[in-house]
Each structure stands twice: as structure tokens, then as C-alpha cells.
Amino acid sequence: MAKSLLIVGVGFMGGSFALALRRGGFKGSIYGVDIKPETIDKAEELGVIDGGGTELGLVQEIEPDYVVLASPVRTFRGIVRGVKPFLKEGAVITDLGSVKGKLVYELEEQLGSRFVGSHPIAGTEKSGVEHSFAELFEGKKVVITPTESTDKEALEEVVSLWKLTGGRVEFMDPMLHDWVFGAVSHLPHAIAFALIDALIEMSDGVDLFKYPGGGFKDFTRIAASDPVMWRDIFLENRNNVLKAIEVYENSLQKLKELIEDEREEELTEYLKEAKQRRLSLE
């Protein structure tokens, strides 16, 4: 019999996950719960979900085989408290959240071994179900963060779901995940938000935002991301984000001193090394 799936938080990621599963051949029903009734209406209208509502009690009615948490990360604990009493035996729970670390262990404590943390390394600065699309995960990394207690069968089921979406699964320790993505994702977002803040500060007498160059637009694209989602990421991965900001402050200080002291050669070396590292990404 086809398995059913419930997405909690039918926004950009949850919506894209549903569309990607359908495209990959998932045959079961896909339901959604969202705090906003208009989001559920829109998701139904767009054919993203087969049905849904605003209450977690829906779990009791539909008895999903899979529950996927796709709301901002700091809502997960409360949602899990709400769904747990209604979960059927053997249901598998996973998430699409950008923070893993101790959150994974806490959710596992609440839900048991059939919770499997996952984080798709795919996304845009857009939010909302109206921006979701089926190809989002195609060829993209998906980091799954099992622990020693994770049920092997549940893990395989989550891996199979991700394979249907076209994602390339990798495994990582939950704590290591937060250090890595604190550095390569959360820090750049923090810097982009802070750069905009700096320009607001400097726009005294002249509106600097009237003169954005290509570089400024490229660099700050991610500052258009959802504030609530990013507030939750920064607070949930607080220690790693603070450490990364500190290291970045040191790098900026180094650059500042090289400019201040007009140390031409060292400044060129600093810039050369950064350029080479960036080019090696291509």
C-alpha cells in the first residue's frame, strides 16, 4: 500500500520537497499542516499537497507514515510535542532544518530512534510555497545526521525519500554539521545582513542604496532571506555562529591593518590567496 506523508510548514522548502517527491514517483498522499490557513489553501491550489489544515491533530486522522518538519528550526520542539501523541507506531520523522547539533539529540529524545535529521544543501533567498519547485534538490547535497541510536530501517527510508527528490545523500555527525554549516552558510548570511546594516548606518545625508553595483547585489542577495528563519538559525547554532563571527572579525582586522599601514606586498598576498581559494570552487 502507498505510504502517506505529512509536511509541517508548507513553505518554500516543504513545498519543494512535496513537488520533488511527486516528480520522483512518490505514490502516496501528501498532506500539509501550516499555521497559516492561506498557505494551506495556496498549497492545495498549486497541487503541492492533497489536503491539509492548521491543526497538528490532523495527524490522528491521516496517520501518516512519514512526518517532515519544514518550519523554522526553533518551532520543531513544540511541533514534536504536538504530534507525538498522535503518531502511529512505526512512523518515521525527519526534518529539512538548517541546524542539527544538539537539536537532533533533543528531538531524538522526544521521538525515539525513528527520528532522522536531514538538511538539504539547496535553497534560495525566496520563501513561501508559491516559490517552491520540483527540481530544487536535483543533484544537490543532502546531509543526513544519524546518531548511534538511529533506527537503521528508518534511516534507509529517509535516504530513499531523498533519492526520489534527486538529492545526493551524505552522512555527517550532527555536531560537526553545525560547525561546518556555521562557517560556510550561517556566517556568510550574518555578514550579508550586517553589511546592509552598515550601509544603512553610512547612509547619512546620501542614500547609498541608490547606487548598488553588481558586486554589492551579488554579495547581499542572501540578505533578502526570511528574517524569522535566520533568527532561528542564528539562535539555534549560537555558539558556532559566534565563534565564526569572531574568526571573521580577526580576518577583517588583519585586512584593516594591511590597508592602514599600506603594506602593499602583504595586502596583495592576502587578496591573491583569497582569489585563488575562491577560483578553486568553480
Q: What is the helix (H) or strand (E) element at residue 195, kind and residue range?
A: helix 187-202
Please give the Cα distance from 41 to 53 (Å, whole number).
Answer: 9
Tell which one of 5, 6, 7, 13 touches ligand NAD (CB under 6 A). 13
| 118 near ligand NAD, rule: CB under 6 A | no
| 229 near ligand NAD, rule: CB under 6 A | yes
Amino acid at 231: R
Q: What is the helix (H) or strand (E) element at residue 59, kind and residue range?
A: helix 58-62
SS3 216: helix
| 127 near ligand NAD, rule: CB under 6 A | yes
Parallel, antiparallel, or unpaired for β 141-144 and 118-120?
A: antiparallel
The count of chain residues that interact with ligand NAD, using the rule CB under 6 A, is: 29
Q: Which stretch binds ligand NAD (CB under 6 A): 93-101, 110-118, 189-197, 240-248?
A: 93-101
Among 97, 120, 178, 112, which Cα is nearest to 147's?
Answer: 112
Among 171, 182, 178, 121, which Cα is nearest to 146's?
Answer: 171
Q: How far is the CB of 68 from ligand NAD (least distance, A)?
A: 10
Tell which one of 22, 23, 36, 238 touches ligand NAD (CB under 6 A). 36
Tell which one of 7, 19, 39, 234 touches ligand NAD (CB under 6 A). 39
| 162 near ligand NAD, rule: CB under 6 A | no
Please give the Cα distance from 49 to 56 (Å, whole number).
Answer: 16
Q: How far is the CB of 167 from ligand NAD (least distance, A)?
A: 11
| 94 near ligand NAD, rule: CB under 6 A | no
The angle that helices 264-279 and 238-260 make with each other, rounded to 10 degrees, is: 140
Which residue, chain included where needed, has cell 569572531?
246
Tell which one of 62, 94, 98, 187 touches ligand NAD (CB under 6 A). 98
| 120 near ligand NAD, rule: CB under 6 A | yes
Q: Which stretch binds ligand NAD (CB under 6 A): 34-42, 173-181, 203-211, 272-280?
A: 34-42
| 146 near ligand NAD, rule: CB under 6 A | no
Tell which one of 28, 53, 128, 188 touches ligand NAD (CB under 6 A). 128
Which residue, chain included where needed, has cell 531523498?
162
Please say whether the beta carbons of 156 and 163 come within 8 A. Answer: no
Tell which one of 73, 143, 155, 258 touches ligand NAD (CB under 6 A). 73
Please give the Cα distance from 189 to 220 (Å, whole number).
Answer: 9
Positions in the binding site for ligand NAD (CB under 6 A)? 8-14, 33-36, 39, 70-73, 75, 79, 96-98, 120, 123-124, 127-128, 226, 229, 233
